[in-house]
Amino acid sequence: MIKKKSIFQLLTEKPWEKDQIEADNQHEGKTVNLSKQKLGLRTIMAASTVLFSLFIVAYSDRMLISDWKNMPEPWLLWLNTGILIISSLVFHMTTKYAEKDIFDKTKNGLYFIGFLAYSFLIGQLIVWYQLMNTGYYATSNVANSFFYLFTTIHGLHIVGGIYFWGKTTSKFIKKSLKKEEINNLIDTCAVYWHFLLAVWIVLFGLMLST
């Protein structure tokens, strides 16, 4: 185990002092108690958060100009949001099953999550189709442009998630990894799913409220 240290504690260490030398010689080489996949995911989530925040800043700035016309939110978006919430819940339960080593339930959970993720993407495409049929093109107004941009970028994140979900699921079915290793991967995917749900709720909330 690694003792938790704040960044200030880390940066004020005096590596030349006797006590510090003794403590440092016992150091195991890791900074935090996380698998490299989990820490990697956190790094990616931090970068993604910056990306979405900047989109939101751009949205809020552009909104102030008078040509802005709000667009309607089709009811299907609520359904899609529901799908995301359910898939996040299922993923949470699946991690619990994986921890308890219940193979069948974990497997079914993983399949169901994949199904939900694809349904979400198809749902979003249907929303696009509906909006275009009613004349809300990406170029008609900048509010629409932002809607299409947000859904695309969020959708691409989901596609990335599906790629890693696929890899994890196939490894799980083949039982090619040790229990801790595969559980680590499933947990990592679950965190990403929750993150994408949070991002979607923020984006959807922003578009609803303006």
Partner 1 sequence: MSDEYEHKLEAKSDYVGDASSVSTPDIDAVPAAELPDQELYHSHSWWTTYVFSQDAKYIGIQYALTAVGTGLLGLVLSWLMRIQLAFPGLGWLDPASYYQFVTMHGMIMVVYLLTALFLGGFGNLLIPLMCGARDMAFPYVNMLSYWAFVVAVLVLLASFFVPGGPTGAGWTLYPPQAITAGTPGSDMGIILMLISLILFVAGFTMGGLNYIITVLQLRARGMTLMRLPLTIWGIFTATVLAMFAFPALLVGCLMMTLDSLLGTSFFMPAMVSLGETLTHEGGSPILFQHLFWFFGHPEVYIVALPAFGIVSDLLSVHSRKTIFGYRMMVWAIVGIGALSFFVWAHHMYVSGMNPWFGFFFATTTLIIAVPTAVKVYNWILTLWRGNIQLSLPMLFSLGFIVTFLNGGLTGLFLGNVTVDVPLSDTYFVVAHFHMVMGIAPLLVIFGAIYHWYPLITGRMMNETLGKIHFWITFIGSYAIYFPMHYQGFVGVPRRYFEIYDSPYIDTSTLLLNKFITIAVLIVGAAQLLFLYNLIVSARLGRKSEKNPWKANSLEWQTPQMPPEHGNWGKELPKVYRWPYDFSVPGAKEDYIPQNQPPSEIIGAKVEKT
CB nearer to partner 1: give 40 or 166.
Answer: 40
Task: Pick one of 79, 85, 93, 138: the residue that binds partner 1 (CB under 8 A).
Answer: 138
Angle at 75 between CA 147 and CA 117, to 5 degrees: 70
Residues 139-178 that bind partner 1 (CB under 8 A): 139, 142, 145, 149, 153
How many residues belong to the site for partner 1 (CB under 8 A)? 44
Work out how close the CB of 45 gets to partner 1 at its nearest, in angstroms, rounded to a whole number: 11
Angstrom distance (rounded) from CA 147 to CA 138: 8
Q: Considering only the stretches 33-41, 110-118, 128-136, 189-197, report the one whose residues sit in contact with partner 1 under the rule CB under 8 A.
A: 33-41
CB nearer to partner 1: give 88 or 124.
Answer: 124
CB nearer to partner 1: give 62 or 105.
Answer: 62
Angstrom distance (rounded) from CA 169 to CA 177: 11
Task: Pick one of 15, 75, 135, 174: the residue that binds partner 1 (CB under 8 A).
Answer: 15
Contact flag: residue 3 with partner 1 (CB under 8 A): no
Contact flag: residue 86 with partner 1 (CB under 8 A): no
Contact flag: residue 4 with partner 1 (CB under 8 A): no
Query: Going residue by residue from 59 to 78, which x/- string records binding to partner 1, judged by CB under 8 A?
Result: --xx--xxxx----------
Contact flag: residue 6 with partner 1 (CB under 8 A): no
Task: Pick one of 36, 75, 174, 209: the residue that binds partner 1 (CB under 8 A).
Answer: 36
Angstrom distance (rounded) from CA 33 to CA 182: 17
HEC profile for the chain? CCCCCCHHHHHCCCCCCHHHHHHHHCCCCCCCCCCHHHHHHHHHHHHHHHHHHHHHHHHHHHHCCCCCCCCCCCCHHHHHHHHHHHHHHHHHHHHHHHHHCCHHHHHHHHHHHHHHHHHHHHHHHHHHHHHHHCCCCCCCCHHHHHHHHHHHHHHHHHHHHHHHHHHHHHHHHHCCCCHHHHHHHHHHHHHHHHHHHHHHHHHHHHHHHC
Q: For binding to partner 1 (CB under 8 A), which residues are involved? A: 10-16, 18, 21, 24-32, 34, 36, 39-40, 43-44, 46-48, 50-51, 54-55, 58, 61-62, 65-68, 138-139, 142, 145, 149, 153
